[in-house]
Copies of this chain bind each other. A is one copy, B any other.
């Protein structure tokens, strides 16, 4: 690992390095897309419709932020892309399952996702429920495979962290608190806690899984985990800001929905300026964790700034 050229941490990075990041994200997104396509091949048998729905929910779009994090952190440790792409595909499938279920009428009742009909609108509710269920299973199945990593211990480590991040004490728990909190004003610490679970845990895992694949030392793993925690929190604040300021066309989904549904957001609690300050503070915390990696972590630095500067 190169220790030379510790990178600057100012916001000017975004303009300087935005193009490099964009290029790198696109390249990795294609690799992840191909991995998902290969892991979920279309079929013609009785399961054709289920597989179609799973493919619809996971392929063809999205920034692949979680998968990009996994692959880019893993690359710090020279993990082959063939391994890290599988892990990235797994986390993207889990993310997709959560979106499919969140969009259901009984949940957030969203008709659109990434500018397309959401899965239950394209297919039907039963198919969307089952496709989400099977995507979660598939995500675990991929991690258990020897193709993901030769060492069973590493695979078990991935699966344990993944389950913790995505279950009742993580993503699903956060979604539940979010549903319960609708229509009443939550204090700032509860909003923080809810988002740390709902979106934060899986983004943190996405960074940490790269460190697990790379068999990082406990110290480096802890740093990458903290990096993930901070950008996960910044990501959600940026999302709240976007929901207020971006158009539906930019978002590819209904805008202003949080306010309409009475959800407590960072913007409602801190104002747009306050929310932006908080997001910047978290980004700088994230970037500080990357110090031992020197210039090799430049794309992860860029990503931290990108998370709060993006328009969709």
Residue A164 at the chain B interface, CB threshold 8 Å: yes
Considering the complex, give the chain B residue whose CB is closest to the CB of A54: B168
Select one of B101, B137, B160, B168 contacting A129, CB under 8 A.
B101
State the number of copies, please.
2
Size category of the binding interface on chain A = 35 or more
Residue A138 at the chain B interface, CB threshold 8 Å: yes
Asked whether A141 and B167 contact (CB < 8 A) given A50-B176, A172-B133, the answer is yes
**Interchain CA distance A261-B172 in the complex, whole Å:** 33
A41, chain B: closest CB distance, angstroms? 11
Asked whether A106 and B133 contact (CB < 8 A) given A47-B176, A176-B50, A190-B46, the answer is no
**Interchain CA distance A257-B148 in the complex, whole Å:** 44
A51 — which chain B residues lie within 8 A by C-beta?
A: 168
**Interchain CA distance A193-B45 in the complex, whole Å:** 11
A127 — which chain B residues lie within 8 A by C-beta?
A: 176, 179
Residue A20 at the chain B interface, CB threshold 8 Å: no
Produce 1/0 per residue, A56-89, CB < 8 A to B: 0000000000000000000000000000000000
A278, chain B: closest CB distance, angstroms? 21
A106 — which chain B residues lie within 8 A by C-beta?
A: 124-126, 129
A153 — which chain B residues lie within 8 A by C-beta?
A: 152
Interface positions, chain A 129-186, Cβ under 8 Å from B, are: 129-130, 132-134, 136-138, 140-141, 144-145, 152-153, 155-156, 159-160, 163-164, 166-169, 172-173, 175-177, 179-180
Residue A194 at the chain B interface, CB threshold 8 Å: yes
A54, chain B: closest CB distance, angstroms? 7
Considering the complex, give the chain B residue whose CB is closest to the CB of A133: B172
Contacting pair A141 B125 (CB below 8 A): no
Residue A231 at the chain B interface, CB threshold 8 Å: no
24 CB < 8 A contacts A-B: A46-B176, A46-B193, A47-B168, A47-B169, A49-B180, A50-B172, A50-B176, A54-B168, A97-B133, A106-B129, A107-B129, A126-B179, A127-B176, A130-B172, A130-B176, A130-B179, A136-B136, A137-B163, A137-B166, A138-B163, A140-B140, A141-B160, A141-B163, A144-B160
9 new A-B pairs (CB below 8 Å) besides A46-B180, A130-B176? A46-B177, A46-B194, A50-B173, A106-B129, A129-B129, A134-B173, A141-B160, A144-B159, A156-B156
